[in-house]
Amino acid sequence: MSERVQALLLVPDEARGLGRSLGQPAYIGDDNALHFSGNVFDLVIVRFYNRRVELKIFTDGSCQPNPGEMAIGVVCLEQHQVIHRISRQYGPGTSNVAELLAIKEALSWAPRDRQITLCVDSKYAEGLISMGWNPTKNLDLVEQVRDLFRSFPNIKMVRVKGHNGITGNVMADKLCHSARLV
């Protein structure tokens, strides 16, 4: 006789981890059931959620003119689906400050227990945050963004070419520009 569980959210790696931690073999079988310690548990997957599924966060910041009124755009994609977006106007500043503010906003929202790829189109932001450049301006903001970035155990930053048709970057750019229309 097997026990029945009404709702359980596991993926194969988590099932194996459960078995290892309890000293018993555990796996999800072809029948989509959890097999553990001689019992079979029905799996009712309410929503596929795997902390190992990467979040791709695209950020953009701009000024019109530069220096001028700043705006930011952020879009977060999970398996090509938009799960979060930010479109915000800021006061006067430079495009470099706007790029850093976009990253700060994105990381302030982002869950720390997820694998994250932070996609930026700013060489300035990439250099200051992930390549160890020494800032000469915006010292407090740079330090805040660096501290936020370091607080994520599974994050990497990649620079994408701006205005090159990369979907997430195009979306972040549009959110950035739409913030000015508000």
Give me the domains of the chain, ranges plus CATH numbers. Answer: 1-49 (no CATH), 55-179 (3.30.420.10)
**DSSP one-letter code for 131:** S
Distances in whole angstroms, Cα of residue 33 to Cα of each of 20, 26, 53, 100: 18, 10, 21, 46
pLDDT digits (tens, 9 = 90+) for 1-57: 344 443 444 444 454 445 454 555 666 566 656 665 555 554 434 334 445 688 999
The model's pTM is 0.73
- Cross-strand pairs, 41: 34
- Cross-strand pairs, 76: 57, 84
> Of residues 84 and 43, which shows the higher confidence score?
84
Quote the pLDDT of residue 39. Answer: 59
Tokens encoding 68:
């001028």
Residue 113 has pLDDT above 50, yes or no: yes
Report the mean per-residue pLDDT for the chain: 82
**DSSP one-letter code for 23:** T
Chain centroid to Cα 38, Å, comes to 39
Residue 72 has pLDDT above 80, yes or no: yes
Quote the pLDDT of residue 11. Answer: 47
Residue 77 has pLDDT above 90, yes or no: yes
